[in-house]
């Protein structure tokens, strides 16, 4: 599985973690996920919206999310993604790893504050 | 949804994804419109915000892993097109691979079924054979004395059971038809329980079947049931004539049941095999009457088959039997016997296949060697092709293809070749194995079990993949390292040069020559051995002789006078055949090993230690028929009917009477007295592979045998007399069992069947390898000449002669051929040590053989280099210099 750099602003794999975290709150369709990430990060994260989709395919392949056709709040026919049990576990692992990474980096960058 | 389903439905998935992404863009636009932008602007902005749709589509495809598959398929298609452009090369390559892979698969099928696969019985790892070994009987093993075995059965707690059995042939018939010959197994009643086999119809043996006076019963194999009774479902209870006895069929064994024939499981094993024996078809029960046997003697008539208790190690069992054997020794000493036997226990599978093991591994090695040589050849050819595609590779590299990408096309091409060759090879192998099974005279144990199975297919696949890598990787890697600037050099054109790739080619050729030389050396040894076996002095003449083996029934012909009358009558009938010069009989088939081993004592010096001998009952006319030479005294005549004469073989006579002539002396054999009336020259009557044995010949009236071999020598060929012999015997006794009728020449051939087969396979492999080596040398020189056109042109322009160029071209092959030859001959010499046990009359590698192989290669190299050298010599310097 090639891990091409998805986006200049994110470390590899982070986008997937964000998507999983978003879906934790409940099933959403693609556009809603993008919207949430945009709004919840208060525009700090500038994710190219299209790059969501390869990430979603990867998540589907690993069976961390499952998808079904349904209706969006605007009555459009969309695919709705939801988190699976395996996905939940993976998210826990990734979150823990990410926290460690973050702590490690800030210890170096801001030694006085850690 | 599995990965395969997803791949097949990928178009649909992609369409859905496109819909999804477009929907996303529309939603984005809607939001922007709500925020106040005008619709067209909003759509444009939305698109821009979303990003590059095709790019994301491709990334999604990547995420699913389809890109890789798609690229692979493209590579394979491209590889196929490349191959289609050079169909000759493709055909030759596929054919070479098919032969190589087919041969290895076929031999591996046999090796797997015979040596590796466990026997088909329940827990067959627990089945063992227990032998006894006696110093004075030689190094081989013997079936145990029944009294000894009985003691083992009583005392050995490590064994779950033991059964005695022996094998022979019986004629079986329904009604009055001529009997068909089948292998027979006579065994104690617990045989089937021991093996863990339940008959599929009827029952196995029971104690009551062996009570004296009870009706004779038999259990049939599936094959015999089909053949004799036509698969009659009501066969149980029906009767068949076995020999002369009406026997009731009580059970039919399952179709998958196999039992080793009498060659695979003989009652004594000196390492010599008889000619091909039939699969056992009929099983007869017996109860051992121990009162018949003493504690000494009576070895080698029964095989003791045993089953170890589960969890018992074979060494434990061996130790236990050895301990019990000392009790046997006590009994023997009490009866005055001196020699004590030792016990030897081996797994049943080992006992059955051990004689064939070495030969089969030899075949496997030869065939693998051939496959390797074929792959080397292909590698060389591929190298040549790769060189001619350097330009294309350079262009692609300049356009941005990664090294891996360049290699992949080559790999795809090779995989195509390999799988085509592999598939053809497996087909060839299956056909070959079937042919072998049906038409082989070579008696390989478990031949009936040989079958192409999953292990074999896995092996074949591995070999195929290995071959493809072997001959594909080197050229592929070469392609990958082409610097792109070559594409920019207008001059380079057909740059089929590069010293490094030429030297790689030469290395490959050198290796090919080495492998070929080693193979030829071994072939030479086997050829010599076979020649030796066939041309050495045998002491008898097999031309124009027909033999017929007859089994007399123990029931109807139990009176020796009746048997003697039978023999007299048949001999008379045989003499009456037109064109017959002499006829006789003997009690054992020639060239089937030693049998009827007895001791001998000189009446006038009984304390003298004498060797064991083979005892044979013969008629007057026997020696004339076999063409044996008389050394002293006379052979049997009519008048010897009631005299106690014996004819000794030369070597035996010398050992008995080293100082004076044996004629007139008296000896005792089997407790009876005989007078020496003649000495026959030593002959290899028991086996061509052994030294001439000690034989004592006695008139058949002494103890007329049940198994009789009649022989006739005539003026026509042996073939022409076969029918008349059979006719003559049946004209007097229409329902006697004639086990087989063949010419003595055929019997001789059959006794060497394995050696002939091995030599034939080696010669075929060696010949093929030689042809491949020749092709390899030709290919390398050809390429080299092509690549050095300009250089040759220059040299000719400055004064080199055509002859000089010619010689120089040939010399190019000198180094690899010589080096390969040296390596190969060394390898051959090392290998010869491993196969020494399979050779006869050959004491290691003689210098003539090495010189012969070397000379052969020099000749081959010259032949292979002839055309390229001529081409080099005919280069027109003007054209070459102008050249492009």
If contacts are CB pairs under 8 Å, which of residues 57-76 in chain A contact chain B?
A: 57-58, 61, 72, 74, 76
Contact B667, B601 (CB under 8 A): yes
pLDDT at res. B465: 75
Taking 60 as the threshold, does the pLDDT of residue A5 lie above it?
A: no
The whole-model pTM stands at 0.72
Contact B428, B98 (CB under 8 A): yes
In chain A, residues with a C-beta closer than 8 Å to the C-beta of B17 are 53, 57
Contact B600, B609 (CB under 8 A): no
Judged on CB neighbours under 10 Å (0-12, 13-18, 19+), B311 is: exposed
pLDDT at res. B496: 46
Average pLDDT over residues B143-167: 90
pLDDT at res. B440: 67
Rounded Cα distance, B263 and B281, in Å: 15
* A103-107, B49-53, B488-492, B859-863: range with lowest mean pLDDT: B488-492
In chain B, residues with a C-beta closer than 8 Å to the C-beta of A57 are 17, 60, 63-64
How is residue B634 written in tokens? 């006379």
Residue indicated by tokens 């097999």: B542
Taking 90 as the threshold, does the pLDDT of residue B396 lie above it?
A: no
Where is pLDDT greater, at B349 or B813?
Answer: B349
How is residue B621 written in tokens? 């006319």
For B164, how many CA atoms within 13 A lie in the half-sphere containing its CB? 23
Contact A72/B65, CB-based, under 8 Å? no
pLDDT at res. A114: 47
A41–chain B nearest CA distance, Å? 17
Question: What are all long-range contacts of A86-95, with beta carbons under 8 Å and residues at least 24 apart?
Answer: A86/A62, A87/A20, A87/A23, A87/A59, A87/A63, A88/A24, A90/A20, A90/A62, A90/A64, A91/A17, A91/A20, A91/A21, A91/A24, A91/A64, A94/A13, A94/A16, A94/A17, A94/A20, A95/A17, A95/A21
Mean pLDDT of chain B: 85
pLDDT at res. B690: 83
- Tens-place pLDDT, residues A31-60: 889 888 888 877 677 677 888 899 999 999
* Of the partner residues B24, B27, B56, the one whose CB lies closest to the CB of residue A54: B56
pLDDT at res. A1: 41
Where is pLDDT greater, at B135 or B17?
Answer: B17
Taking 60 as the threshold, does the pLDDT of residue B148 lie above it?
A: yes
- Tens-place pLDDT, residues B188-231: 999 999 999 999 999 999 988 888 888 999 999 999 999 888 88
Contact B463, B104 (CB under 8 A): yes
Instruction: Find, among B134, B177, B168, the residue nearest to B263 by Cα.
Output: B168
In chain B, residues with a C-beta closer than 8 Å to the C-beta of A55 are 63
Where is pLDDT greater, at A27 or B340?
Answer: A27
- Tens-place pLDDT, residues B782-810: 777 777 777 888 888 888 788 888 888 88
Confidence of residue B771 (pLDDT cuts 50, 70, 90): confident
pLDDT at res. B272: 60
Contact A54/B63, CB-based, under 8 Å? yes
**Which alpha helices (DSSP H) does A41-114 contain, by range?**
52-61, 85-109
pLDDT at res. A6: 44
B307–chain A nearest CA distance, Å? 53
* A76-90, B709-723, B815-829, B859-873: range with lowest mean pLDDT: B859-873
pLDDT at res. B482: 62
Taking 60 as the threshold, does the pLDDT of residue B509 lie above it?
A: yes
Contact A51/B51, CB-based, under 8 Å? yes
For A39, how many CA atoms within 13 A lie in the half-sphere containing its CB? 7
pLDDT at res. B441: 63
- Tens-place pLDDT, residues B232-275: 899 999 999 887 788 999 999 998 888 888 878 888 776 566 56
Rounded Cα distance, A9 and B546, in Å: 97
Interface of B with A (CB under 8 A): 16-17, 20-21, 23-24, 26-28, 30, 49-53, 55-56, 59-60, 62-65
What share of chain B has pLDDT > 70, as a percent?
95
B47–chain A nearest CA distance, Å? 9
- Tens-place pLDDT, residues B829-850: 888 888 888 888 887 778 888 8
Interface test mutation site (partner A, options B13, B26, B60, B70, max chain A beta carbons within 10 A): B60
Radius of gyration of chain B (CA): 37
Interface test mutation site (partner B, options A15, A35, A54, A74, max chain B beta carbons within 10 A): A54
- Tens-place pLDDT, residues B554-605: 777 888 899 999 999 999 999 999 999 999 999 999 988 777 888 888 888 8
- Tens-place pLDDT, residues B156-196: 889 999 999 998 878 888 877 777 888 899 999 999 999 99
Confidence of residue B607 (pLDDT cuts 50, 70, 90): confident
In chain A, residues with a C-beta closer than 8 Å to the C-beta of B50 are 48-50
Q: Distance of alpha carbon A112 from its chain centroid, rounded?
A: 31
* Strand locations in B516-591 (E): 545-551, 580-586
């Amino acid at each position: 599985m090639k891990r091409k750099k998805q986006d200049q602003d994110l470390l590899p794999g982070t986008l997937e973690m964000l998507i999983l975290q978003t879906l934790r709150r409940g099933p959403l369709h693609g556009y809603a996920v993008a919207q949430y990430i945009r709004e919840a990060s208060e525009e700090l994260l500038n994710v190219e919206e299209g790059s969501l989709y390869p990430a979603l395919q990867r998540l589907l392949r690993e069976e961390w999310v499952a998808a079904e056709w349904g209706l969006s709040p605007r009555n459009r026919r969309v695919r709705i993604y939801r988190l699976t049990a395996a996905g939940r576990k993976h998210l826990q692992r990734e979150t823990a790893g990410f926290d460690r990474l973050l702590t490690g980096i800030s210890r170096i960058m801001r030694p006085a504050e850690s | 949804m599995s990965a395969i389903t997803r791949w097949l439905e990928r178009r649909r998935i992609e369409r859905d994804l496109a819909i999804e992404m477009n929907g996303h863009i529309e939603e984005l636009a809607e939001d922007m419109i709500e925020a106040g932008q005008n619709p067209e602007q909003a759509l444009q902005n939305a698109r821009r915000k979303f990003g590059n749709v095709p790019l994301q589509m491709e990334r999604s495809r990547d995420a699913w892993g389809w890109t890789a598959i798609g690229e692979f398929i493209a590579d394979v298609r491209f590889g196929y097109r490349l191959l289609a452009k050079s169909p000759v090369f493709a055909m030759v390559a596929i054919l070479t691979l098919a032969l190589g892979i087919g041969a290895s698969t076929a031999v591996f099928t046999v090796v797997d079924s015979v040596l590796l696969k466990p026997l088909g019985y329940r827990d067959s790892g627990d089945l063992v054979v227990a032998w006894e070994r006696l110093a004075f009987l030689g190094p081989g093993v013997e079936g145990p004395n029944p009294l000894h075995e009985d003691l083992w059965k009583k005392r050995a707690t490590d064994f779950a059971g033991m059964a005695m059995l022996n094998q022979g042939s019986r004629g079986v018939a329904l009604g009055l038809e001529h009997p068909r010959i089948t292998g027979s197994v006579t065994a104690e009643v617990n045989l089937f329980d021991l093996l863990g086999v339940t008959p599929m119809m009827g029952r196995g043996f029971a104690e009551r079947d062996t009570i004296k006076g009870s009706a004779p019963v038999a259990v049939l194999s599936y094959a015999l049931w089909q053949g004799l009774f036509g698969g009659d479902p009501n066969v149980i209870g029906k009767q068949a004539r076995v020999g002369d006895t009406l026997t009731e069929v009580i059970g039919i064994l399952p179709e998958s049941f196999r039992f080793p024939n009498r060659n695979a499981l003989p009652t004594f094993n000196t390492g010599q095999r008889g000619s091909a024996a039939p699969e056992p078809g009929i099983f007869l029960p017996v109860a051992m009457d121990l009162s018949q046997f003493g504690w000494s003697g009576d070895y080698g008539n029964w095989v003791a088959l045993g089953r170890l208790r589960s969890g018992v190690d074979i060494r434990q069992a061996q130790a236990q039997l050895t301990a019990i054997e000392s009790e046997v020794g006590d009994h023997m000493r009490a009866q005055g016997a001196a020699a004590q036997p030792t016990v030897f226990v081996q797994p049943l599978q080992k006992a059955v296949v051990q004689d064939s093991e070495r030969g089969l591994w030899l075949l496997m090695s030869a065939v693998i060697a051939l496959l390797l040589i074929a792959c080397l050849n292909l590698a060389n050819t591929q190298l040549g092709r790769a060189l001619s595609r350097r330009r294309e590779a350079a262009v692609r590299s300049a356009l941005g293809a990664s090294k891996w990408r360049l290699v992949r096309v080559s790999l795809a091409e090779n995989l195509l070749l390999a799988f085509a060759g592999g598939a053809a090879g497996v087909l060839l192998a299956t056909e070959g194995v079937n042919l072998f099974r049906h038409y082989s005279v070579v008696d390989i144990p478990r031949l009936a079990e040989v079958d192409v199975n999953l292990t074999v297919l896995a092996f074949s696949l591995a070999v195929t993949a290995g071959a493809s890598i072997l001959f594909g990787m080197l050229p592929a890697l070469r392609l990958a390292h082409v610097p792109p600037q070559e594409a920019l050099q207008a001059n380079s054109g057909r740059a089929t040069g590069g010293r490094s790739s030429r030297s790689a080619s030469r290395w490959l050729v050198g290796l090919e020559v080495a492998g070929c030389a080693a193979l030829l050396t071994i072939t030479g040894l086997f050829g010599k051995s076979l020649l030796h076996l066939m041309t050495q002095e045998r002491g008898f003449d097999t031309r124009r002789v027909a033999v017929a083996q007859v089994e007399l029934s123990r029931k109807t012909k139990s009176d020796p006078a009746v048997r003697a009358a039978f023999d007299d009558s048949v001999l008379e009938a045989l003499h009456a055949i037109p064109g017959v010069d002499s006829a006789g009989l003997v009690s054992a088939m020639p060239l089937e090993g030693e049998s009827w081993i007895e001791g001998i004592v000189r009446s006038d010096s009984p304390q003298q230690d004498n060797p064991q001998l083979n005892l044979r009952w013969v008629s007057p006319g026997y020696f004339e028929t076999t063409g044996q030479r008389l050394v002293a005294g006379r052979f049997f005549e009519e008048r010897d009917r009631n005299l106690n004469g014996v004819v000794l073989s030369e070597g035996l006579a010398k050992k008995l009477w080293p100082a004076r002539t044996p004629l007139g002396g008296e000896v005792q054999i089997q407790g009876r007295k005989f007078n020496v009336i003649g000495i026959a020259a030593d002959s290899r009557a028991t086996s061509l592979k052994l030294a001439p044995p000690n034989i004592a010949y006695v008139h058949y009236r002494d103890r007329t045998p049940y198994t009789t071999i009649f022989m006739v020598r005539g003026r026509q060929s042996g073939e022409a007399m076969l029918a008349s012999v059979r006719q003559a015997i049946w004209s007097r006794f229409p329902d006697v069992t004639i086990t087989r009728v063949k010419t003595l020449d055929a019997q001789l051939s059959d006794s060497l069947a394995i050696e002939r087969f091995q030599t034939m396979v080696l010669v075929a492999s060696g010949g093929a390898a030689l042809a491949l080596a020749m092709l390899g040398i030709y290919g390398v020189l050809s390429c080299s000449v092509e690549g050095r056109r300009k250089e040759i042109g220059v040299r000719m322009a400055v004064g080199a002669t055509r002859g000089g160029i010619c010689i120089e071209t040939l010399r190019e092959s000198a180094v690899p051929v010589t080096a390969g030859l040296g390596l190969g001959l060394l390898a051959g010499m090392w290998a010869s040590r491993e196969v020494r046990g399979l050779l006869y009359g050959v004491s290691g590698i003689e210098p003539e053989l090495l010189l012969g192989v070397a000379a052969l290669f020099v000749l081959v190299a010259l032949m292979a280099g002839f055309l390229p050298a001529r081409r080099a010599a005919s280069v027109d310097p003007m054209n070459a210099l102008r050249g492009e």
